[in-house]
Amino acid sequence: MSSTDNKRFRIGSVQYLNAAPLTRGIESELVLATPAKLAEMLRRDELDAALVSITEVLFNDRYDILDGIGIGSIGEVYSVILAHRKPLEEVKEVFCDTASLTSVNLLKVLLAEKNLFPEFKPLDGYDAAAYKDFVLLIGDPAIDFQRAPHTHEIFDLGAAWTEMTHLPFVYAVWALRRGVDNKSLRRELRESKKIGIETIDYLVETREEYDEDFRRDYFEWNIQYNVGEDAKRGIAKFCELLRKHDLGTVYEPKFVS
């Protein structure tokens, strides 16, 4: 066994329920943070790999993407939402969960395609969400919001994307530091996902978030963990629309097996 095979890699992930099947068996090794924080750590080379927003790799030409694995949806995702008390056509400002990078840009694209260009502002805290006319939430806080009493309508970004494009959307991918010998790391992440998918029943039965019926629906219906050709077409369409609406310099994603 070579010295590189013995190396301990620094791996970052999110604490959201949707990441659980991708990190089976390596939970004790993980650095847990929000997508935005993980992206900062990757940029400072404090991590060798992290489960980050797809926009982090599209806007920064310094990562490779582990091929075939991600967090996506085909239709309703449930955990990436715009909660709104007024009609979408009246949107002037959106308060955003600062943890996310992808969902903000996805919402900008979806609204721009409707000729809507609101101002985006940071959400002070999740407690303030119920008092905002337009609030963007992701991950477990989005689930919490929908499962609690509220007076908002829900604009599910996954459903809106698939309705508009007829394609899946990929929210997060494993981003790898480019130029690092990480063959064993890639193998470890693939094995972790394989175990997670094979033991999805165990995760459904033993995780403590929400109730068992919800967890099963969420894992098996709302979230997709394979990034195949349709998902890659979804990524390409997202790149096209980011460029169309001048939302940043977009680089072609580089996949590695």
- Render pLDDT for 212-231 as a digit per residue (tens, 0 to 9): 999 999 999 999 999 999 99
Strands annotated E in the chain: 11-13, 30-32, 49-53, 63-73, 80-84, 93-96, 119-122, 134-138, 153-156, 169-177, 224-226, 255-256
pLDDT for 86: 97
> In the chain, which stretches have pLDDT less than 50?
1-6
Model's pTM, two decimal places?
A: 0.93
Q: Are residues 8 and 126 in the same domain?
A: no
Task: Give the 3-state secondary structure of residue 148.
Answer: coil
Task: Check whether residue 52 and residue 176 sit in a common domain.
Answer: yes
Are 179 and 251 members of one domain?
Answer: yes
Q: How far apart are CA 166 and CA 13, in angstroms?
A: 29
Neighbour tally for 107: CB within 10 Å: 26
Could you give the maximum distance between any two Cα atoms of the chain, in Å? Answer: 62
Check residue 5 and give its pLDDT: 46
- pLDDT at 188 (0 to 100): 96
Are 173 and 252 in a shared domain?
yes
Q: What's the domain range around 233?
A: 3-72+169-256
Q: Are 115 and 164 in contact (CB under 8 A)?
A: no
Domain termination site, one of 115, 143, 165: 165
Q: What is the pLDDT of residue 2?
A: 36
The pLDDT value recorded for residue 7 is 61
Phi, psi of 211 (to 5 degrees): -115, 165
In a shared domain, residues 161 and 101? yes
86 lies in the same domain as 141: yes
* Whether residue 161 is found in the same domain as residue 127: yes
pLDDT for position 172: 95
CA within 13 Å, CB half, 172: 29
Number of domains in the chain: 2
Domain boundary among 147, 165, 183: 165
Q: Do 95 and 222 share a domain, yes or no? A: no
Give me the CATH number covering residue 126: 3.40.190.10
- Same domain assignment for residues 15 and 49: yes
Instruction: Record the tokens describing residue 220, joined without a space.
Output: 């098996």
Residue where one domain finishes, among candidates 165, 196, 216: 165
106 and 27 fall within a common domain:
no
Q: Do 28 and 68 share a domain, yes or no? A: yes
